[in-house]
Amino acid sequence: MEEAPVPGLYLHIPFCRSRCAYCDFYSVTDTGLIPRYLDALLKELEAYRDEFTSFDTVYLGGGTPSLLSIAQIGALMDTIRQVFTIVPDAETTIEVNPADWDREALGEVHGLGINRLSIGIQSLDDQELLLLGRRHDRKQALRTLEDALHAGFTNIGIDLIYGLPGQTLQGWFASLRQALTFSPAHLSCYELEIKDGTPLGRRYKKGEFSRPPEETQRDFFMRTSEFLEESGYIHYEVSNFAMDMDHASRHNQKYWDHTPYLGVGPSAHSFRDRRRWWNHGALDRYLLDLEGDRLPIDDAETLDDEQLGMEALFLGLRTKQGIDLERYRRQYGFDLMEDKALLLKELCASGLIEIFDGRLRPTRAGMAVADSLAML
């Protein structure tokens, strides 16, 4: 019998010093609310004491968790360890904005038992950082990387964005190559999405710049994947690369394979035993609920085999390891090789997927169109 997977814990920190030009995530800039928020968060954690007992990943994401003081993070980590069992070799990640912490602060964060950093660098070109509305510059980004290594972090992830207006492949590779000089354990490379309602979206609507054509975007994706794999990284998910599978994000993999997870904070999602539930998105509602001794749950759904199977297919086809066909049949009751025989044959013939060693997995070209692949 397979051992039950250990759940992951996500804590959402919905504060940002300022809003980036491309971002449509919910966050607030009133950092004066942080102490009140942390009190509410502790209450929410306490409420799950009996339902979730242990975790092997803890992820502080946002927003901008590095806006919390070291003392606040320390207190939060202490509470987590008092309420739950955190297994000894747990992966504990915090997202960091390069404008926030110096070498000393990073050393203190490391001392709190946080063993993985996800640093939101996005670009190493000052003009691009300005366009994105980031509040750090190239110099701060490079210094944070040096400081993080010096502070003792060996598991460092760098987030980068490509496909910016006016960006050339040469410009993108300059950022990427420089990032590699720090030998990060992990890289997330995202294509810029220009979303309606964001400052960048409004500028785009006014015709201030154009998007790179689809073919160019595909070029960015394919060349990045080739380059990073040649440099020794594993392209293990559409946007994610790891120096080896021990450094692939253990936490994020839980979202992709239906391992249970608890998410706390506004808009955080949780999953357990087919049930998914999620919190209210707005901070004021979240605070009022917890201060009134209510859980801030907005809604919930229970997934049947078909829904779970569709999700597993969608998420599995975004990963290099793909889908174990026999396990999929046992778990969800669908034999993909039989039910989708013709389609799979066509996708194999067009070089988008391959079937190898009992697994259905996307090729690099398939990963480039992963969202449409999942419409299977």
Contact positions vs ligand SF4 (CB under 6 A): 16, 19-20, 23, 25, 27, 62-64
- Phi-psi sector, 359: left (phi>0), alpha (psi -120 to 50), beta: beta
Q: Which residues of 215-242 are buried (b: 16+ CB within 10 A; e: fewer)?
A: eebbbbbeebbeebeeeebbbbbbbbbb
* Residue nearer to ligand SF4 on the CB measure, 122 or 319: 122
Q: How far is the CB of 12 from ligand SF4 (least distance, A)?
A: 10
288 Cβ contact partners less than 8 Å away, ≥ 6 residues apart? none
Instruction: Please state, in angstroms and rounded to a whole number, the distance separating the CA atoms of residues 57 and 55.
Output: 6
Instruction: Please state, in angstroms and rounded to a whole number, the distance separating the CA atoms of residues 248 and 264.
Output: 23
* Residue nearer to ligand SF4 on the CB measure, 62 or 212: 62
Q: How far is the CB of 81 from ligand SF4 (least distance, A)?
A: 27
Q: How far is the CB of 1 from ligand SF4 (least distance, A)?
A: 41
Q: How far is the CB of 22 from ligand SF4 (least distance, A)?
A: 7
Q: How far is the CB of 139 from ligand SF4 (least distance, A)?
A: 18
Three-state secondary structure call for residue 11:
strand
* Residue nearer to ligand SF4 on the CB measure, 147 or 159: 159
CB distance 212 to 163 below 8 Å: yes
Q: How far is the CB of 64 from ligand SF4 (least distance, A)?
A: 5
Q: How far is the CB of 195 from ligand SF4 (least distance, A)?
A: 11
CB distance 93 to 118 below 8 Å: yes
Backbone angles phi, psi at 313, to 5 degrees: -70, -50
* Residue nearer to ligand SF4 on the CB measure, 162 or 334: 162
Instruction: Please state, in angstroms and rounded to a whole number, the distance separating the CA atoms of residues 192 and 342.
Output: 34
* Residue nearer to ligand SF4 on the CB measure, 62 or 362: 62
* Residue nearer to ligand SF4 on the CB measure, 97 or 167: 97
Alpha helices in 231-322 (DSSP H): 250-256, 283-291, 305-316
Three-state secondary structure call for residue 290:
helix
* Residue nearer to ligand SF4 on the CB measure, 23 or 34: 23
Q: Token pair for residue 267?
A: 């808009």
* Residue nearer to ligand SF4 on the CB measure, 21 or 308: 21
* Residue nearer to ligand SF4 on the CB measure, 225 or 279: 279
21 Cβ contact partners less than 8 Å away, ≥ 6 residues apart? 131, 132, 133, 198, 199, 200, 203
* Residue nearer to ligand SF4 on the CB measure, 77 or 200: 200
Instruction: Please state, in angstroms and rounded to a whole number, the distance separating the CA atoms of residues 362 and 373.
Output: 9
> How far does CA 213 lie from the centroid of its chain?
26
Q: How far is the CB of 226 from ligand SF4 (least distance, A)?
A: 28
Q: How far is the CB of 303 from ligand SF4 (least distance, A)?
A: 28
Residue count of the chain: 376
Q: How far is the CB of 14 from ligand SF4 (least distance, A)?
A: 8
Bridge partners for 86 per DSSP: 55
